[in-house]
């Protein structure tokens, strides 16, 4: 039973209806963009594909959803406060885009990951310089946390920032940085003192003297590589937030965006499930469609059921975070289950296609590669299990 008055209940229902309409519209727009341009993007190399994808996201107005309204981003209405971005919107967009194009998906989310620290903590001039262009897809963002010796444990970050009057010099090496060599600026986590948690974040323009990038290839093609900082100088006004508060800021950005990784996993998995259904319905062996074999048809039934469970976990986590909750359990559950499940679904799809499933260029072969990294980045599956176990036992005492 509800404790709301009839008037309050009607207001709540109206808000929920408005939210549903916004999310449905975003899903349609992202789906249309992906269907129209996925093949075009597949024909381009990583750099041109990334830039074209970002251009398309800007033209469609979807990049604006990665920037808060108060900084020139999309008007999320009742989905979230104007000072932040809607996790539900990000999830809807990522699931729809990932269904069609991994490049559209990654270029969308990097606009959020790379700029959200600025939206939360940049000074007014710095925010004006970058956030409007990010929302319009006129500037490309990147998020530089990982180092050769610092992956899941960000307290091991070694890149050093030293103060020189009203400026800082940065020296060190970041790796596995999406948009390396394509980004216009990097949000960088750096150590500012020898104390264990003495970190600050900085906004570093890509054209800063002493900054260079080297690209490498990964399973799911997109711009990624190493970023080297050799006495890179930035003014103190490029520091994001208070000195020493960088680790908390980086973790807050990850916490805001993590549920959307699960949504992208669901997009990849839903496409794999659909590809399997189509193939099993039309491919004949032993005189009948493969779908007539119970073992294979049961596979599709389980794929769909597990995928729907993953979608509901994402819906739950995104709603909690949008409404101001920490969502520690909900987000970890969604990230763990959706990404692990997507790996399983895509693997089954490859199996259904047989030899065609491992042929370079087939849809399920690409999905198999694209989905693998999701179990690793923004909190590996093992880290999600640690979070869940810690929180569950904390609540039981």
Average pLDDT on 284-288 reads 89
Question: What would the pLDDT profile of 213-263 be if each residue is shown by its tens digit?
Answer: 999 999 888 899 999 999 999 999 999 999 999 999 999 999 999 999 999
Q: Is residue 230 among the annotated active site residues?
A: no
Return the exposure string of 223-257: e unless at least 16 CB atoms fall within 10 Å of the residue's CB, then b. bbbbbbbeebebeeebbbbeeebbbebbebbbbbb
Distance (Å, whole) CA 18 – CA 343: 34
User: How confident is the model over 56-66, as pLDDT tens digits?
Assistant: 999 999 999 99
Cα–Cα nearest to 272, from 189, 374, 132, 371: 371
User: Each residue of 3-39: pLDDT tens digit?
Assistant: 667 665 665 666 678 999 999 999 999 999 999 999 9
> Residue 267 class from Cβ within 10 Å (0-12 exposed, 13-18 middle, 19+ buried)?
buried
Mean pLDDT of 167-179: 97
37-54 residue pLDDT tens: 999 999 999 999 999 999
Q: Which of 147, 275, 365, 378 is catalytic?
A: 378
For residues 79 and 15, the model is more confident at: 79
Give yes or no for a contact between 179 and 168, defined as CB atoms under 8 angstroms apart.
no
What percent of the chain clears pLDDT 90, i.e. is strictly above it? Answer: 88
| 128-146 per-position pLDDT tens digit | 999 999 999 999 999 999 9
Around 291, how many Cα atoms within 13 Å sit in the side-chain half-sphere? 12
**142-244: CATH number:** 2.40.110.10
Q: DSSP 3-state assignment of 44?
A: coil
Sign of CA dihedral 190, 193, 194, 200: negative
Rg, Å, the chain Cα set:
22
What pLDDT, on the 0 to 100 scale, is given for residue 387? 95
Helix (H, G, I), strand (E, B), or coil: what is residue 234? strand
Q: Residue 375 — pLDDT band, cuts 50, 70, 90? A: very high
The count of other CB atoms within 10 Å of the CB of residue 39 is 10
CATH value of 7-139 in 3.40.190.10, 1.10.150.110, 1.10.540.10, 3.20.20.10: 1.10.540.10
To which H or E segment does residue 202 belong? strand 199-205
**What is the H or E stretch that residue 190 is in?**
strand 185-191
Report which DSSP code applies to 150.
B
Is 7-139's fold the same as 248-395's?
Answer: no
Q: pLDDT at position 1, please? A: 44
**pLDDT (0 to 100) of residue 314:** 98
Domain ranges of the chain: 7-139, 142-244, 248-395
CA distance 302 to 296: 10
Residues 338-363 have a mean pLDDT of 95
Picking from 172, 164, 159, the residue whose alpha carbon sits closest to that of residue 199 is 159
Superfamily of domain 248-395: Butyryl-CoA Dehydrogenase, subunit A, domain 3 (1.20.140.10)
SS3 of 203, please? Answer: strand
Instruction: Determine which helix (DSSP H) or strand (DSSP E) holds 160, and give its type and residue range.
Output: strand 160-164
Paired sense of beta strands 141-144 and 199-205, if any: unpaired
Give me the count of residues in the chain.
397
What pLDDT does residue 292 have? 86
């Amino acid at each position: 039973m509800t404790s709301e008055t009839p008037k309050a209940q009607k207001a709540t229902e109206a808000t929920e209806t408005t939210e549903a309409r916004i999310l449905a519209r975003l899903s349609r727009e992202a789906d249309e963009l992906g269907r129209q341009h996925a093949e075009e993007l597949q024909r381009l190399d990583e750099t041109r594909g990334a830039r074209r994808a970002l251009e398309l996201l800007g033209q469609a107005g979807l990049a604006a959803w990665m920037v808060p309204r108060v900084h020139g981003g999309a008007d999320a209405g009742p989905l979230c406060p104007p000072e932040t971005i809607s996790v539900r919107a990000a999830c809807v967009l990522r699931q729809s885009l990932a269904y069609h194009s991994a490049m559209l998906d990654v270029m969308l989310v990097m606009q959020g990951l790379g700029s959200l620290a600025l939206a939360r903590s940049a000074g007014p001039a710095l925010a004006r310089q970058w956030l409007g262009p990010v929302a319009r897809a006129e500037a490309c963002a990147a998020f530089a946390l990982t180092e050769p010796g610092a992956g899941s444990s960000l307290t091991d970050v070694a890149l050093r920032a030293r103060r020189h009057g009203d400026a800082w010099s940065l020296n060190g090496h970041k790796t596995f940085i999406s948009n390396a060599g394509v980004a216009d600026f990097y949000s960088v986590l750096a150590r500012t003192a020898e104390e264990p948690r003495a970190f600050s974040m900085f906004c570093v323009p890509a054209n800063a003297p002493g900054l260079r990038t080297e690209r490498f290839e990964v399973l799911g093609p997109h711009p990624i590589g190493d970023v080297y900082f050799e006495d890179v100088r930035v003014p103190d006004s490029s520091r994001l937030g208070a000195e020493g508060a960088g680790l908390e800021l980086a973790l807050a950005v990850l916490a805001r965006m993590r549920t959307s990784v699960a949504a992208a996993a669901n997009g990849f998995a839903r496409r794999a499930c659909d590809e399997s259904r189509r193939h099993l319905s039309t491919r004949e062996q032993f005189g009948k469609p493969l779908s007539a074999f119970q073992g294979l048809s049961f596979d599709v039934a389980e794929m769909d059921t597990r995928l729907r469970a993953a979608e509901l976990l994402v819906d739950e986590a995104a709603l909690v975070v949008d409404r101001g909750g920490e969502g520690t359990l909900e987000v970890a559950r969604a990230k763990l289950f959706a990404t692990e499940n997507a790996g399983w679904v895509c693997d089954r799809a490859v199996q259904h296609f047989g030899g065609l499933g491992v042929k370079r260029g087939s849809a399920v072969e690409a999905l198999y590669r694209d989905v693998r990294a999701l179990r690793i980045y923004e909190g590996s599956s093992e880290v999600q299990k640690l979070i869940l176990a810690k929180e569950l036992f904390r609540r039981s005492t």
